[in-house]
Amino acid sequence: MAGGVGSRFWPLSKSNKPKQFLDILGIGKTFLQLTFERMNKICPAENFYIVTNKIYKEQVLEQLPMLSESQVLLEPMRRNTAPCIAFANYEIKKRNKDAVIIVSPSDHLILKEDEFIRVLNNGVDFVKNNQSLLTLGIKPSRPDTGYGYIQSMVADKNEEISLVKTFTEKPNIELAKFFYESGEFFWNSGIFLWSLKSIDDAFSKYLPEVSNLFNNRPSFNSEKEFIDSTYADCPNISIDYGIMEKADNVFVYKSDFGWSDLGTWGSLYENTNKDQLNNSIIGENVILYDSKNCMINIPNGKLVVAQGLDGFIVVDSGESLLICKKDEEQRIRQFVNDIQLKKGEKYV
């Protein structure tokens, strides 16, 4: 899934080039490329589908030239993850009605790739042999209010896969502390495994309005016309809310493979190397004086000198500069909305 906007990574992430197409880590590869390389270890290139907005088609093909145009599924509008997954199912069904499917966002960080691949291989075996919907749950490292949580039916730490008891959206800090201390709750990674039959049955039962749109195809002159019409009628709904929170055959794979959804500059800061004063610096020509606890992201061709900063985000995209307190980064979305109103679309 590669259709998100990623406005919380402004000013690097913009509507015409969101974070999945950026080298935010400063390592010469984008999140999309890193996700492909990781998944390619267990899935051949010809079995990939990238679902993205139609305006990103060329960026996907440029960054993943080993894929054909037919492997890039173009959404005419944003309708959240349930229609996105139904669209992929529709295409996969044409090729293999017995397919096993892994659904992954294209913009996550995974630090322990060997463990991740082990978990995926075990998960594939599980969904092959069970009529189930499997989600990867991440062992929490702290009480975080930025993630959804999955409660396992079984608290036994030795049992890797168990039925899901409850889903909880992003909790307040008191609830997050309870979840963290209980040992029964795991972060919702948004990575899913299932057979085509299992997810098709779930759509038919819990989201028939989406299932019927894709399965009962009327006559159209082209696939594009059909998808455009279908998406126009689809509800804007997530797979979590539409299916996972309602189905009775949802399992969680309790995992720990160094995962972060990297949804914010703060989460990037937490997952990158720091200097002796806890500054995370991406950029070759950054000189700091009397500064600590900062997230600095600067283009390699620019020299930046900063003095006296404590707990700031400083990001330069070349045409826009963000200077923001790290503990107030939730306001970045507000900044982007204000920029759009005051300065137009150019900067967002």
> Domains (ranges, CATH) in the chain?
7-260 (3.90.550.10), 269-347 (no CATH)
Mean pLDDT by 10 residues, the chain (348 residues): 88 93 91 97 98 97 98 97 98 97 95 97 97 96 89 79 93 92 93 98 98 89 93 96 96 95 88 95 95 95 96 96 94 94 92
Structure tokens at 154: 């079984």
pLDDT at 155: 64
pLDDT at 210: 97
pLDDT at 221: 83
Compute the distance between CA of residue 1 and CA of residue 267 in angstroms, rounded to an integer.
Answer: 20
Amino acid at 189: S
pLDDT at 25: 87
pLDDT at 323: 98
Phi, psi of 65 (to 5 degrees): -65, -15
Residues forming beta bridges with residue 250, ordered by sequence position: 133
Structure tokens at 325: 């307190």
Which three-class secondary structure state does DSSP give residue 305? strand
Q: What is the 8-class DSSP label of residue 325? A: E
User: Taking the complete model, does pTM exceed 0.85, yes or no?
Assistant: yes
pLDDT at 144: 86
Q: Give 203: exposed, middle or buried? Use CB within 10 Å, 0-12, 13-18, 19+.
A: buried
Compute the distance between CA of residue 234 and CA of residue 277 in angstroms, rounded to an integer.
Answer: 50
pLDDT at 157: 65
pLDDT at 190: 95
**β-pairing verdict for 280-282 and 295-297:** parallel
Cβ neighbours of residue 346 closer than 8 Å, sequence gap 6 or more: none
